Structure 1
Amino acid sequence: MPGSLDPLDVGVQIPYHFRCPISLELMRDPVTVCTGQTYDRQSIESWVATGNITCPVTRAPLSDFTLIPNHTLRRLIQEWCVANRAFGVERIPTPKQPADPSLVRSLLNQAAAQSNHMNSRVAALRRLRGLARDSDKNRSVISANNAREILLAIVFSRMDSDSSELNHESLAILSMFPLSEPECVFVASDPERVSYLVAMLFHPSIDVRVNSAALIEIVVAGMRSSELRAQISNADDVFEGVVGILNYPLAYPRALKVGIKALFALCLVKQHRQRAVTAGAVEALIDRLQDFEKCDAERALATIELLSRIPSGCAALASHALTVPLLVKIILKISERATEYAAGALLSLCSASEQAQKEAVAAGVLIQLLLLVQSDCTERAKRKAQMLLKQLRDCWPEDSIANSDDFACSDVVPF
């Protein structure tokens, strides 16, 4: 980051007037407030967001919170960066300006007006989608203009297999926003709306499928009503659709990310986990476990632990040749939460199957568990590890039991 350069290291001093008065770093997106002072956009927005209503430099009240881009200063900063690139200074990119609220309102009105031509409405939605993709700030502007209500109305305006591109574009935008609980209830309380979203999980376009799964996850996670969550997880083919997205090729990584979020949300409904197993969720989770990024791997392991708690899920996990070796392999490699979930799943499997116990021992679980109980992991993870060690005590080879004394683990020795 150019703003964090140490002048003593690179042999160049950042001009004082190029530094933000708040962060004291090189400004990347200078904006001027109503008092005439210029700040970096991110810094002044954070200042105002924390409740401050005065100018940080002059202490004068900010009567108007409009931020005016200082294009002249930004160009001067960019020219300075280019002139000093020999010292390791990188040119700051030209920032994209936040969406104009009046433009957003115009586009939403254009999309909502049924009297407009279909192509005009779709074009407005595509432009809104591009703005929403650009930045969190744009999404805030869009959301503040009643966008979610308008988009929900368009998405469910025609609920059949021949639903138009208008519906699909609205669905794509809506999947980028969190919904309020009443909005989630609006979707979940109508079986036709739920059935429509499930049908979209099998659309020929992977984008439509993933956007539908994203909205299903948003709705399930956004409600407190266990009855409505159960209704969605009990919808015909919902698990098959989500598992199909998880199994989509790696060339589309968003499918993996959205798929695991949706599957985890659905599996939180205990009475319908059996349907996830029947849909092939276990095979999909184990086969793709090493492909998930950190947060998604945590969700995947949490889902595996949830499924291991029901007999059919435990049996399906135990029958997969890679389940136990993979859980043992990654138990300490991702995060504390992942460790806890992996240990919990192994505990369920080894409690139900002697074969799983033998596989765990053969995969080297002893060393992993002894390291785990001596680590700084969560107490729940340690407790699960200790219970698993007790469960496996009859399976350790004699030399493993003898060598375990080297770990001096008081939590394990008693048994």
Structure 2
Amino acid sequence: MVKEELYITVPSVFRCPISLDVMKSPVSLCTGVTYDRSSIQHWLESGHDTCPATMQVLPSKDFVPNLTLHRLINLWVQSSTLRPGSDSPRLLVAKSPAISEVRAKLLMEKIESESCVDSLTKVAEFVSCSEENRRFIVRFGDSSEIIASVLRRKCVEIKALEMAVRILDLILSENGVKERLNKLILESNQENNFLSSIVLILQNGSLNSKTESIRVLDSIALDSESKRRIADSQNLISVLVHLLKSNDNEPLNDAVVSFLTNVSITRSIKSQLIQNGAVEILSNSLTEKSLKMLAILCACPEGRSAISSDPKCAAGIVERLLKVSKTATEDAVLVLWSVCCLRKDEKVKEEVVKGNGVTKILVVMQREGEGNVRMMCRDLVKALRAGCKDWTLGSYETRTTHIRP
């Protein structure tokens, strides 16, 4: 019969502030803080002259045994340990929590000098535990620069790159982090190595690390110059479009489309997207974010041509027209208006009419009131009537059949 195991909680005062393990030989610094002897010796021998817990400069590095605490720990251990042969449940010390703040400081210093996977993994676990831990890491020195430097180094194993990206993704929401990353990567002209590491993760990393990498990229694309420089570097557009085409992971695809929407600010970037087949891929999954992306691409002639040449696109947009949010409906109307009224594509007009598009456009026109969307709806109805002799209002249940442009 297997004996039952009971876990006991260790009093926090018995744990070393550095290792978080029960202290075997507690010693106190002149600041009054007690540590396990082996942990504080390692700290001081590493060249530090401060108390790890308080960061006070030490006037003396001497420490003295804390005999009282040592006796209390021994008494606690004896009372918590059952004699051999006992039939009572076996007591086990509860697993120590994530690394301490002091240990996190030591790991960050180690990461600054070498891209150690183990150190990065432990820091990633630390920042994922709580918002307080994330704030602590952000307040610690140049944490953003230290982690970003891992991605700027050469010949770093991909696991270390993934851990660095995970840490950055976790601390992005903290005050000032996005701005510091933008300055570190772009103003220092070191984006090439950084983006090369990101592309490597996008090509060979896990699904989670790919999603995190894209969120990090999105966070540093803060202005038109940074958006342009990021999008035009390292063949990034083709890599991202390939990601959209080759996987069906919704969080990853959402992150990719959001990023591409954010950086598609120049004719060159839009052309790259269109040439890499973005329109066809977006047409296969007309989410609200996809509609936003199509609304951006239809602003240039190549985009309107690509949308017109894809028979599924216009039909899918009409089908989704009244099933999405107000903003997405406006994007859908803009795309239809661009290909039907600007490009005047007769085949697209026929597809819109076949999908009961006239009735749906009238519904949108009625609820929009005055504004650009209503004007585009009016233009669309006129274009559809002029281009299709056999157009009729469909059977869609609505009270808007009296509306005429």
Once residues 385 and 400 of structure 2 are traced to their aligned partners in structure 1, the CA distance between those partners, rounded to angstroms, is 17
Provide the residue aligned with 2:231 in structure 1. 233
Which residue, out of 301, 322, 329, partners 2:291? 301
The alpha-carbon distance between structure 1 residues 409 and 128, as it changes in their structure 2 partners (threshold 3 A), is: farther
| TM-score, normalising length: structure 1 | 0.63
Higher Rg of the two aligned structures: 2
Conserved in 1, the CA contact under 8 Å of 2:358 and 2:381? yes
TM superposition shift of 1:134? 4.9
Provide the residue aligned with 2:263 in structure 1. 266
List per-residue Cα deviations over 1:296-321 (Å, max 9, x = no partner): x3322111111111122222222222
Matched, 1:345 2:345: no
The alpha-carbon distance between structure 1 residues 389 and 132, as it changes in their structure 2 partners (threshold 3 A), is: farther
Conserved in 1, the CA contact under 8 Å of 2:362 and 2:400? no
Conserved in 1, the CA contact under 8 Å of 2:111 and 2:146? no
The alpha-carbon distance between structure 1 residues 186 and 235, as it changes in their structure 2 partners (threshold 3 A), is: same
Q: Which runs of 5+ in 1 are unaligned?
A: 1-98, 290-296
Conserved in 2, the CA contact under 8 Å of 1:372 and 1:385? yes
Once residues 125 and 203 of structure 2 are traced to their aligned partners in structure 1, the CA distance between those partners, rounded to angstroms, is 25
Once residues 375 and 319 of structure 2 are traced to their aligned partners in structure 1, the CA distance between those partners, rounded to angstroms, is 19
TM superposition shift of 1:141? 4.3
TM superposition shift of 1:366? 0.7
> Within 5 Å, which residues of 2 pair with 1:101-116?
103-104=100-101, 106-113=103-110
Which residue, out of 361, 382, 385, partners 1:369? 361
TM superposition shift of 1:345? 0.8
Which residue, out of 150, 159, 167, partners 2:154? 159
TM superposition shift of 1:109? 3.2
Aligned-partner SS, 2:385: coil
Using CA pairs below 8 Å that are at least 6 residues apart, which structure has the higher relative contact order? 2
Which residue, out of 297, 308, 314, partners 1:318? 308
Conserved in 1, the CA contact under 8 Å of 2:199 and 2:239? yes
List per-residue Cα deviations over 1:141-167 (Å, max 9, x = no partner): 4434353232112222x235x544223
The alpha-carbon distance between structure 1 residues 401 and 210, as it changes in their structure 2 partners (threshold 3 A), is: closer
Which residue, out of 339, 348, 359, partners 1:356? 348
Once residues 128 and 191 of structure 1 are traced to their aligned partners in structure 2, the CA distance between those partners, rounded to angstroms, is 24
Matched, 1:128 2:132: no
Provide the residue aligned with 1:190 in structure 2. 190
Conserved in 2, the CA contact under 8 Å of 1:340 and 1:378? no
Say how many residue pairs are matched: 298
List per-residue Cα deviations over 1:92-148 (Å, max 9, x = no partner): xxxxxxx99x92453253143159886xx4334323333444555554444343532
Once residues 265 and 213 of structure 2 are traced to their aligned partners in structure 1, the CA distance between those partners, rounded to angstroms, is 19
Aligned-partner SS, 2:117: helix
The alpha-carbon distance between structure 1 residues 368 and 130, as it changes in their structure 2 partners (threshold 3 A), is: farther
> Within 5 Å, which residues of 2 pair with 1:27-66?
none
TM superposition shift of 1:264? 1.3
Conserved in 2, the CA contact under 8 Å of 1:108 and 1:124? no
> Within 5 Å, which residues of 2 pair with 1:5-24?
none
Provide the residue aligned with 1:45 in structure 2. none
Which residue, out of 261, 266, 274, partners 1:277? 274
